[in-house]
Amino acid sequence: MNKSHKHIGVAIIINDKKEILIDRRLPTGVMANLWEFPGGKIERGETPEDCIIREIKEELGVVVRCDRIFAEITHDYEQFTVTLYVYLCHICQGKPQPLECAEILWVKPHELSQFEFPSANQEIISKLQKEFS
């Protein structure tokens, strides 16, 4: 059986207090209720940056600027493979709201370990804690 391969744009949104925005997935679907960094599936013809800007507007109602690529991670799950294109971002306009997620939180990098994330995110969390602690 051929597993599907998803390409995901991921935003690490950092505020002036060096806190990172995380959101909790809705209680339905794959990985329900887990915490994640906002983002979504890259559509055909889209760059990771275009995807992140579109997804963050849809999910959180804010406009972000992608500052730089932070990591590119490929992870195998049982049902599918994901490649995460992770960018450090800043909010240019608006105040984040949980439009397509259960809740949002601003947390310090060292606090990320207290939340349950999908396993593909562990490498991002480790790297954030090294770079921003």
pLDDT of 29 above 90: no
The ranges assigned to domains in the chain are 4-132
The annotation places the binding site for Mg(2+) at: 39, 59
How far apart CA 26 and CA 124 sit, in angstroms, is: 21
How far apart CA 19 and CA 17 sit, in angstroms, is: 5
Per DSSP, what are the bridge partners of residue 100?
none
> Per CATH, is 4-132 categorized as 3.90.79.10?
yes
pLDDT of residue 2: 76
According to DSSP, the β-strands at 39-41 and 4-13 are: antiparallel
Mean pLDDT over 53-69 rounds to 98
The annotation places the binding site at: 25, 36-39, 59, 121
The annotation places the binding site for 8-oxo-dGTP at: 25, 36-39, 121
- Burial (CB count <10 Å: 0-12, 13-18, 19+), residue 61: middle
Percent of the chain with pLDDT over 70: 99
pLDDT of residue 3: 86
Q: Give 133's pLDDT tier (boundaries 50, 70, 90).
A: confident
How far apart CA 92 and CA 104 sit, in angstroms, is: 18
